[in-house]
Amino acid sequence: LTSRLPDVGTTIFTVMSALATEKGAVNLGQGFPDFHCDPALVDAVADAMRSGLNQYPPMTGIPGLREVVADKVEAIYGHRYDPATEITVTAGATQGILTSVLCCVHPGDEVIVIEPAYDSYVPAIQLAGGVPVFVQMEVTAAGYAVPWQKVAAAVSPRTRLIMINSPHNPTGSVLRIADINALADIVRGTGILVLSDEVYEHMVYDGARHESVCRHPELAARSFVVSSFGKTYHVTGWKIGYVAAPAALMSEFRKVHQFNVFTVNTPVQYGLAAFMKNPAPYLELPAFYQRKRDLFREGLAATRFKLLPSDGTYFQCVEYSDVSSLPEADFAKWLTTEIGVAAIPVSAFYHEPRESGIVRFCFAKQDETLKLALERLSKL
């Protein structure tokens, strides 16, 4: 069989989690919380199951969940998506990304990918027959930044889509209003669409706000906005999220979605719809994670790692040149095996080998877990 994805192996997240388990290491690699979600959310899902809500829901997701999402997005970002025609519930952000790409990218179309990039973007483009065009973020004194003039220079008559991600995995950087305006300037007057991966939308720190592309009317009119309930409600294993887009785009999205998964499991949708009526969990999330970020950064400041900024997400990147000269993947494995703390090499987020001497830690962990990891890292 000729592979459709010849360059793809097992994802770095799976590789590092398996190694962490095998070695009994503290797993700060793959991004997921090691604490429970709100028991009220579990009850809401169990209630739905017990009351018999266990058959196929509508293809696009239950109306109650799409409505609660539309209300929440409007309340926060001031843009109203029509829940009937502009929001679809997906099997996590991963399926939302794949389906968005498949529904608009034709063979030979170019898609601009900003690196480091989440590992599902390029395979999605390749499955659509598209051609990824890469622009690398630059590391400045303020951390990773998108060089928009290079994005503009990467645009060609074949450009169909630009993929962005803010708050950004793995760098923890956050796009500000000037970035969003720069993106709008680039696409204005073109037919280029935008895929905005906003799964960490509720993890922006230090009082800043999340600049969803849907706040910007011109961008909202040409964007697929992807989000994930897994991140916001500490349930990454439920694999549920949504995509919001203008009706014309969403109608094409749904054509692919109905033959991709058709729909997403019923009781979780009812549970989330009931639970999400209370805004407290996502309003409290920035303070919740900012405290963990600060605890983790304070501990790291006493080690030989150099901290990069973490303005959003639940990731903290560190530069390790004072600790080791190993390449990132080898260093991450050594750290897991010998020191007992798993991390993710940032090089895994580039299409070509690129060594920056930086690894990513996830701080979505109980304080005790973070403290144990810090104790081990401080020995270096």
Contact residues: ligand GLN, CB under 6 A: 11, 13, 30-31, 169
Letters for 171-210 (x = contact with ligand PMP by CB under 6 A, - = none) are --------------------------x-x-----------
Partner that binds at residue 99, options ligand GLN, ligand PMP, none, CB closer than 5 to 8 Å by kind: none
User: What's the closest the beta carbon of residue 375 comes to ligand PMP, in angstroms?
Assistant: 27
Query: Please, which of residues 217-236 interact with ligand PMP by CB under 6 A?
Result: 228, 230, 236
For residue 198, the minimal CB distance to ligand GLN (Å) is 14
92 binding partner (options ligand PMP, ligand GLN, none; Cβ < 5 to 8 Å by kind):
ligand PMP
Q: Quick one: which of 104, 317, 97 has its CA closest to 228?
A: 97
DSSP assignment string, 342-356: E-EEGGGGSSS----
* Among the residue ranges 86-94, 217-225, 342-350, 370-378, the one whose residues contact ligand PMP (CB under 6 A): 86-94
Cα–Cα–Cα angle for 207, 210, 213, rounded to 5 degrees? 160
DSSP symbols for 1-49? ---SSTT--S-HHHHHHHHHHHHT-EE-SS---SS---HHHHHHHHHHH
CB–CB of 226/91 below 8 Å? no
Q: 165 contacts which partner out of ligand PMP, ligand GLN, none, CB within 5 to 8 A by kind? A: ligand PMP
How far apart (Å, rounded) are the C-alpha atoms in residues 139 and 357? 12
Which residue number, 30 or 265, has a Cβ lying nearer to ligand GLN? 30
Query: Among 97, 102, 103, which Cα is nearest to 117's?
Result: 97
Q: Determine phi and psi for 24, rounding to 5 degrees.
A: 65, 30
Question: Taking CB under 6 A as the rule, does residue 83 contact ligand PMP?
Answer: no
| R_g over Cα of the chain | 20
The least CB distance from residue 302 to ligand GLN, in Å, is: 25
> Given the rule CB under 6 A, which residues bind ligand PMP?
31, 92-94, 118, 165, 169, 197, 199, 228, 230, 236, 239, 241
